[in-house]
Amino acid sequence: MKQQSKARAHTNIALIKYWGKRDNKLFLPMNSSLSLTLDAFYSETSVELSDSFEADSFILNDQPQNSQETAKISHFLDLFRQTAGIKTAAKVVSQNFVPTAAGLASSASAFAALGAAMNHATGLNLDLAELSTYVRRGSGSATRSVYGGFVEWQMGTTSADSLAVEIDDASWDIGMITVAVNTNKKTLSSRDGMKLTVETSAFYPAWLESAAKDLVSIKEAIHKQDFQQLGEITESNGMKMHGTMLGATPPFSYWEALTVEVLTKIREIRRQGWQCYFTMDAGPNVKILCRYSDAEAIQKLLTTAFPDNPVIISKVGSGVKLI
């Protein structure tokens, strides 16, 4: 056989955080989460299946990847190959348009794009909900990148129903700004941070209860298009996730000095009348949910305060697409 497909997927930022796995192998989460897909950051990946290839190969951002990196991709592609009943080797060529300077992870868009391309190349043509259960096993947050706008990742009961659901296309003046505080590699990966939290945090059971309630409330806010409620829940849920880390043994934190300054500045901008709410993932960088029509003005205030830090605006992104 010989087939080639190419897909684009955007990254997403969780407003209700995914924080902890109940199954490390299947990437089943401890709680349901909800995100906003971002237009500004994406991956484009092509998959070529050919009987003439002896083994899988993987080129990322024009760089051939070593056997260890390629093995991860092979393992992921196997999920599709098993279902399709084929063993054909693949050539994967991927480009991440998630600038390192933005301080964002690219794994969500990367696995969503790769999964979408592989889905088509193999002829499986799974629908997006089912596709999301496959890309989940590359990276948990990739689950949500199959759709655009506001997307829920339902924790489900098995691997088959731990999937993405479209909630709203977020076409009501929604934007996001990222402030890069430090773009170096983290000393503690998200994976290790969430594991330590699940295993030791005094606050973890309360986090799970609270995240479940936050999810119900944020869906109400989205349904009513109540931006303030949306923002307040986003900010509160994100800080709670960081609070769980202070409850771990030993306690840890992804915050840096500049993180605190950025959070303080955002509160100040909000007091000046701009609707803006922060959230943070497992790292020192800060993301701000705002009205897209306000984004440039807010960006200007932030750039004035933090001239050395990239401040990047994004509008709402769409789901995976073959290109």
Instruction: Catalog residues that contact a second copy under the rule CB under 8 A.
Output: 202-203, 205-207, 209-210, 232, 235-236, 239-240, 242-247, 249-251, 253, 255-261, 263
Q: Are strands 175-179 and 276-279 parallel, antiparallel or unpaired?
A: unpaired
Supply the Cα-derived Rg of the chain in whole angstroms.
19
Nearer to a second copy, 76 or 278 (CB): 278
At position 212, the amino acid (one-letter code) is: A
Token pair, residue 253, equals 């934190």
CB environment 228-253: b (16+ within 10 A), e (fewer) = eebbebbbebbebbbebbeebeeeee
CB 198, min distance to a second copy, A = 14
Q: How far apart are CA 321 and CA 319, in angstroms?
A: 6
CB 266, min distance to a second copy, A = 12
Nearer to a second copy, 225 or 236 (CB): 236
CB 241, min distance to a second copy, A = 8
The alpha-helical segments, DSSP class H, found in the chain are 67-84, 107-121, 128-135, 190-200, 204-224, 227-246, 257-271, 295-305
Nearer to a second copy, 103 or 138 (CB): 103
CB 237, min distance to a second copy, A = 9
Nearer to a second copy, 95 or 236 (CB): 236
Q: How far apart are CA 20 and CA 138, in angstroms?
A: 15
CB 7, min distance to a second copy, A = 38
The residue whose two tokens read 């200007």 is 300
CB 111, min distance to a second copy, A = 30
CB 141, min distance to a second copy, A = 21
Q: Are strands 33-50 and 90-97 parallel, antiparallel or unpaired?
A: antiparallel
How many CB atoms are closer than 10 A to CB 68?
A: 7
Using an 8 Å Cβ cutoff, are 123 and 144 in contact?
A: no
Nearer to a second copy, 267 or 315 (CB): 267
Nearer to a second copy, 205 or 273 (CB): 205
Nearer to a second copy, 173 or 232 (CB): 232
The residue whose two tokens read 């030993």 is 250
Nearer to a second copy, 202 or 322 (CB): 202
Of 289, 250, 210, the C-alpha closest to 19 is 210
Name the β-bridge partners of 97: 42
CB 223, min distance to a second copy, A = 21
